[in-house]
A and B are shown apart, each in its own frame.
Chain A
């Protein structure tokens, strides 16, 4: 038996695998394929206070070994999440991380305050979405803004606070240190890389918003490098993501320093990707005589 449990900054997880926000909704859509209670956690789609319409279409483009998206955090608002999805997750026995979004510092705090009486196990503060004009990545690229918004969120809750980082910065460890110093219990990385796709025949961008967030297997080397850098730079645990499609990918992130991992874009092409990743990590541990999966964290031999 392999002990698959990990602790992500005060959030006990039965195994290291969660979902990357925005790729799994709140799990209901995947319920024919995945038992949400079997996952380490479900990380829900970013939620704002009153809901957002999101961006114009086309919203996605396929690119070599990856894709671009510019959904723009379309969501029905925190009241809907509390009324429909969170009770469903609780009833299913899932561990729930809610991804919190906002257009302003105060909106992040208001969303957290609205969720404090709901069945939520941890928050993931999204200061890294590349697809909105206000909030999101505009905050996550400036250490002072990071310090301020994380500090405000920290004051609003005693629950585990995960801060999700953008890779679209010169030095991600600078942002990581700022979030840690402001009270983050854990850091998740990476959000999508800014990219674009062009239709040469029409001389037009493929995405209506021109630029979007790049994800999928193609980004894995960048994500691994950033997890490894942050692992050396901060003490708080890391939730690694970026192109994870199977157990081997997940193990690579844990060796680089991640305590837990998220499966994202892979859910789109393989609805069983989360469970297969858990099974793959387990099989790796058995094959390598690893009794506790937590022993893999940062075990890279350089």
Chain B
């Protein structure tokens, strides 16, 4: 679908973890059209001196209810202000923006989500579960309380995702990259190597996972986040360095072939 600028309503807005909040928005047009990997560009109300919109990936969408869920982490003025939005308040969303994930139609997929990076992979996970491909999920977070997507993934997969926490309060202690390395290795040893890796999270995590996938000869996609102004491809603020030159994170991405990103 083309882009729309939809006036939407906050349905709920609650803290779900340390600095982590979940906002449900009544956004029927965008909910109907958005695809895994795409994002929305939000004009947050009541912060006029902060003029720019904020881009957010969509965690969950419910086409029937006409809602989308945004999982956001408080990192600055804008996201802090967002926590004050009340049910019923209106904001503007441009969407659906950006390139989609490209999982294989068949074969094995590995999804790696670091921190709030678990959210933009969930719709992808749903689509793979519904396809002829299989999927494993690795999630990493600083601490157990920040693994806020774990339950939803477990329900979707019918099994626990593999988890790591920096402080060892849940799953493997340390970064989730060791779980990724093991998963890739194990799959190769079983003679059923992965066909696809998708990763979203802090840039250092994505860089390491992209490297592990490249070493294992597995196609990998990453979702890049950069400072954005227009969010629709015009201003060239959010460029990502690639082997094909500078590309716009908003419309050429946010999903990129990891092999093309110059880290």
Contact = CB atoms under 8 A, between A and B. Distances in A.
Whether chains A and B associate is: yes
B191 interface: no
A268 B236 contact: no
Interface string A239-282: 00000000000000000000000000101111110000000000
Interface in B72-92: none
Contact of B232 (A57, A64, A265, A271): A271
B233 A268 contact: no
A170 interface: no
Interface size class of chain B, counting residues whose CB lies under 8 Å from the partner chain: 20 to 34
Interface string A57-68: 111111011110
B51 A67 contact: yes
A263 B235 CA distance: 14
A59 B49 contact: no
Contacts of B237: 59-60, 69, 71
* Chain B residues touching A, majority SS: loop
B150 interface: no
Interface string A14-43: 000000001111000110110000000000
B230 interface: yes
Contacts of A67: 51-52, 229
Given A53-B246, A71-B237, A58 B232 contact: no
Interface in B218-242: 226-239, 241
Given A74-B236, A74-B246, A271 B5 contact: yes
A291 interface: no
Contacts of B3: 32-33, 271
Interface of B: 2-5, 43, 48-53, 94, 226-239, 241, 245-246, 251
Interface of A: 22-25, 29-30, 32-33, 45, 53-54, 57-62, 64-67, 69, 71, 74, 216-217, 265, 267-272
Top 5 closest A-B pairs, CB basis? A25-B234, A32-B3, A29-B233, A29-B234, A32-B2
